[in-house]
Amino acid sequence: MRYTLLLAALAAGCVNAVEKDVYVTDWTTVTVTTTVTAPAVTETVQPPQVQIQQAQPTSAAPAVQSVVASEPAPAVQEIVTSSAPAPAPAPVETQAAQEPAPAPVQEPAVVTTEAPVPVETVAAMSTSWSSAWTSTLSVAPASAPTEAPSTAGAPAGNSYQSAVLYNHNIHRSNHSASSVDWSADLEASAKVLASRCVYEHDVSIPGGSIGAGDYGQNIGYGVEAGDIGVMITNLMYNDEINYFPTPYGSADPDMGMFDKWGHFSQIVWKETTHVGCATVTCPSLGNVDSSMALPFTVCNYYPPGNVQSQYGDNVLAPLRQQTYVA
């Protein structure tokens, strides 16, 4: 667009110069060339203003015309300074000057090379999930369920379950909490929510012996099932532990930054004994501005963590074990 304004200014300057020289030399033939040049300059100013090449590369055609049309201005000056009545060859040269159109074609090509913008968009999407975690804040239930959740150890061939348990228990041990076991009931309710492909919490889905609202929940998106350890360890634990209000031991810590540490506290919640997770790759994920397929992970916990007034007994100070990174 800046080049367009510059060409327009140069073209206007050339017109004024031509009109001034014509007045001094009083050549009647120059009047003819002036009428030919004026419409050419008038047409060159308008097409570049309409040109928007970032969206449509086909708009390169007007740009070529604007560059070529501005070329005849020097040809008119040569006609004025000639001493012989040589205006006749000059119009022939102006037609020849319009033919070198192939040269200006390179300028629109430079403009269209701004296409790398979509590449930046993809990069933004690939990192946007890292700050998209949410967590459930539970309230102490009026009465505890009478039935324990059905449990199942992680089979040797089920690497997903093994990774989920390992990346929970290694951090729980650092906070003096016992290891959690896998729950098929919690896995079932987690899979129902993940399969909806809408990024939101919902603990109203019953699963086996665990009723609606009787479990806690962490959700996240953007990490494949094969990298579930990266989500639990790197993003939910390592990235959040330093946000938890210190010193440890407060029954009701400051909740102003709960969204920054809510996953961490649920992972190490001492009274939690079971976990069940599911990861589903969704063609599109509701509540997320993305046109690409995204993996959606839901982890459910029993008994639920993040219960008000119970943080002091359930989120214990770390033992300062060596930091583990998945």
Q: In this structure, is residue 252 part of a structural domain?
A: yes
The whole-number pLDDT of residue 290 equals: 83
| 145-165 average pLDDT score | 65
Poorest-pLDDT segment among 103-117, 194-208, 234-248 = 103-117
pTM of the model: 0.58
Q: In this structure, is residue 78 part of a structural domain?
A: no
Q: What is the pLDDT of residues 84-110, one digit of tens each?
A: 344 444 444 444 344 444 444 444 333
**Residues with Cβ within 8 Å of residue 246, at least 6 apart in sequence:** none
**Residues with Cβ within 8 Å of residue 206, at least 6 apart in sequence:** 189, 212
Q: In this structure, is residue 80 part of a structural domain?
A: no
- Find, among 131, 144, 125, 153, the residue nearest to 263 by Cα: 131
Domain with 165 in it: 159-313
Q: 240: which DSSP letter?
A: T
Determine contact, residues 42/12, Cβ cutoff 8 Å: no
Q: pLDDT higher for 144 or 241?
A: 241
The torsion angle over the Cα atoms of residues 180, 183, 189 and 192, rounded to 10 degrees, is 100
Concatenated DSSP letters for 244-311? S-SSTT-SS---TTHHHHHHHHHHH-TT--EEEEEEEEESS-BTS--SS-EEEEEEEEES-S-BTT-H
Q: In this structure, is residue 180 part of a structural domain?
A: yes
Q: In this structure, is residue 198 part of a structural domain?
A: yes
Q: In this structure, is residue 105 part of a structural domain?
A: no
- Find, among 97, 96, 100, 77, the residue nearest to 87 by Cα: 77
Whether residue 302 has pLDDT greater than 50: yes
Whether residue 146 has pLDDT greater than 80: no
The whole-number pLDDT of residue 291 equals: 85
SS3 content of the chain, % helix, strand, coil (to 5): 50, 10, 40
Q: Which position has the token pair 């004026």?
A: 38
How far CA 21 is from CA of 30, 35, 70, 81, 144, in Å, comes to 9, 14, 18, 9, 100
CATH number at residue 203: 3.40.33.10
CA–CA distance, 326 with 234 (Å, rounded to integer): 6
Strands (DSSP E) contained in 207-251 are 216-221
Q: What is the pLDDT of residues 196-210, one digit of tens each?
A: 999 999 999 998 899
Identity of the amino acid at 301: Y
| 170-197 average pLDDT score | 98
The whole-number pLDDT of residue 52 equals: 30
Mean per-residue pLDDT of the chain? 69
Q: In this structure, is residue 48 part of a structural domain?
A: no
| 240-262 average pLDDT score | 97
| 202-225 average pLDDT score | 96
Question: How do strand 181-182 and strand 274-282 relate by DSSP bridges?
Answer: parallel
> First vs last Cα of the chain: how many Å apart?
50
**Residues with Cβ within 8 Å of residue 123, at least 6 apart in sequence:** none
Concatenated DSSP letters for 150-197? PB-PPPTT-HHHHHHHHHHHHHHGGGT-PPPEEBHHHHHHHHHHHHTT
Q: What is the pLDDT of residues 20-70, one digit of tens each?
A: 444 333 433 333 444 444 444 444 434 333 333 333 333 333 333 333 333
- pLDDT confidence tier of residue 139, bands split at 50, 70 and 90: low
| Helical segments of 51-71, H only | 60-70
| Count of structural domains within the chain | 1
| 234-250 average pLDDT score | 98
Q: In this structure, is residue 125 part of a structural domain?
A: no
